[in-house]
Amino acid sequence: MNTKDKKSSTSQSTLPDDIERLMKKQGGFTRSDLTARKVSKKNQDSKQPQKNSSKKPAKAKEPTPEPEIVQEKLEEIAKERKIIFEPNPGPQEEFLAASEQEVLYGGAAGGGKSFAMVVDPLRYAENPNSNMLLLRRSTEELRELISVSKQLYTQAFPGARFLERDKTWVFPSGAQLWMSYLDRDDDVMRYQGQAYNWIGFDELTQWATPYAWDYMRSRLRTSKNTNLPLCQRATTNPGGPGHFWVKRMFIDPAPYGKAFWALDENGETITWSEKSKFAQLNGLVGKPMLKRRFIPASLMDNPYLAEDGMYEANLLALPENERRKLLEGDWTVAEGAAFTEFNMEDHVIEPFDIPDNWPKFRACDYGYGSYTGVLWFAVHPSGQLIVYREMYVSKVTASDLADMILEAESNEKIRYGVLDSSLWHKRGDSGPSLAETMIMKGCRWRPSDRSRGSRVAGKNEIHRRLQVDDFAGEAGLVFFNTCRNTISQLPSLPLDKNNPEDVDTKSEDHLYDALRYGIMTRPRSSLFDADTTGLRTGFQASDGVFGY
Ligand SMILES: Nc1ncnc2c1ncn2[C@@H]1O[C@H](COP(=O)(O)OP(=O)(O)O)[C@@H](O)[C@H]1O
Ligand SMILES: [Mg+2]
């Protein structure tokens, strides 16, 4: 038993060996497998007993001493040793010992999240097959991580080199850690064809959509027999443009700290596809694919800052919402939410069969690389709008989207559709626009209003619709509870910091845009409009639905 074993046994027995390796003394590791590596001679004390391994006895020159003497000696050494890194007990330790494929360490600022993120790859730095990637949103933010890594890595692994040009660490084993940024969605293409066993995202809510996180999952691979687990790790504060999707992916599905099978955006468990050879060979088809876990961080976990008091005092001085997010790591507070009036009681209803004679229409905001949001609306005879179906998909071509829409509404009569007007722009010199492609398939659209001020007007109109009518006791806009994505996105859509009249366009706003386009067609119902036969009569007041 070495000093480390002794030390850690008092705190947390689940701590894996790898972490213990990090807790080491100047110039050498406490564990034999690491001390076997070349360490700085200068710091080597001749009577240094880190050859205290059980599996590889030191070139035994002394007879085995009495256990008490060993104990004493170890304690003596422990005093002399300068431990370079020791996880803070609690969440930081849990994060560093986590075994789930996807783990988010999130919550209060100053909890030691980024620090842990930089330490985590060291668990695999001894494996020559290890190829790892640590990401931040921008290069400037990356610098902070690089500087922490420079303080830690060379001490932990003498001989580890940082290649400035490539921003890559090369460890003595040959293991590599790339430190990079990933700003726009297209940046993921840089990693096409690459394979990593460990990928980390620091400050995950800085990514407005889950696109990069989901894409990078496909880069997570190891070749056979490398003994490397696949890890995707993230840290973050609550808030930021990606608050909503991060919360939905990691925080909502299970109690804090509890591992759960990963769900897709429709709330279904992600399972192995029958297309996967690996799954076929291993009888995994249809079985849940990966586990996730959220580990909450609090400032109080980090004695390095908590004891200081100043930092806490600064956080306490922040406005309420900021404070709850940063100091308490509160995920329920959406940052400057645009639609604070939205709530489940007034705006979400159980689905019911919509009478055929209520006018129906749809609206769409299209994005191939990011997401496409389509919403279907029905107009209640009272004029209330009911959003009764949503479609939220990614990587679907215009032509396929048209098929999917027509299929979804095959038994319905849809009066009209409104689509982001930019889709009428031609893609090149020739060929139909995306809108025309869909229209040619029979999925008809009219362009949305894109005039100046239409964004703000649309937002105001949604506010107006969300109001609960005093007389009827009902809101002017309600959603079937099956419209999961819309219901979770709308209340956490952040306001634009520079223009509080509008929402932050960098956030996940495709369904919101679809809602806005739909609502701005000013649909309403009237007695004259109700088509009691359930069939098209051939004569309809053109402004009965559109209102203008
Ligand atoms: N286990 C640890 N050992 C030493 N210093 C730590 C440890 N955990 C955190 N710190 C220090 O605490 C400070 C805040 O940690 P940081 O990781 O930046 O917090 P966060 O990313 O959660 O806001 C940093 O200065 C960091 O070096
Ligand atoms: Mg941080």
The ligand that comes nearest to the alpha carbon of residue 117 is: 1
- pLDDT, residue 12, reads 35
Residue 107 alpha carbon, nearest atom of ligand 1: 22
pLDDT in tens, 335-354: 567 887 887 788 989 999 99
* Distance (Å) from CA 545 to ligand 2 centroid: 51
**Could you tell me if the CB of 91 is within 6 A of ligand 1?**
no
Task: List the one residue out of 58, 68, 71, 65 whose CA is nearest residue 9.
Answer: 71
Question: Of all helices (H) and strands (E), which one includes residue 177?
Answer: strand 176-181
Q: What are phi and psi of 50, to 5 degrees?
A: -75, 0
Task: List the one residue out of 247, 17, 200, 245 whose CA is nearest residue 103.
Answer: 200
The ligand that comes nearest to the alpha carbon of residue 148 is: 1
**Could you tell me if the CB of 111 is within 6 A of ligand 1?**
yes
Domain ranges of the chain: 3-80, 92-326, 344-546
d(CA 94, CA 104): 11
Residue 113 alpha carbon, nearest atom of ligand 1: 22
* Distance (Å) from CA 302 to ligand 1 centroid: 7
* Distance (Å) from CA 290 to ligand 2 centroid: 26
* Distance (Å) from CA 312 to ligand 2 centroid: 15
- pLDDT, residue 83, reads 63
**Could you tell me if the CB of 384 is within 6 A of ligand 1?**
no
Predicted TM-score (pTM) of the model is: 0.59
Asked if 480 and 351 touch (Cβ cutoff 8 Å), the reply is yes
**Could you tell me if the CB of 296 is within 6 A of ligand 1?**
no
- pLDDT, residue 27, reads 30
Output the residue whose Cα is nearest ligand 1's atom 9: 112
CATH architecture of 344-546: 2-Layer Sandwich (3.30)
- pLDDT, residue 475, reads 94
Asked if 260 and 269 touch (Cβ cutoff 8 Å), the reply is no
> Fold for domain 92-326?
Rossmann fold (3.40.50)
d(CA 418, CA 407): 18
Residues of the chain with pLDDT under 50: 1-62, 526-548
**Could you tell me if the CB of 305 is within 6 A of ligand 1?**
yes
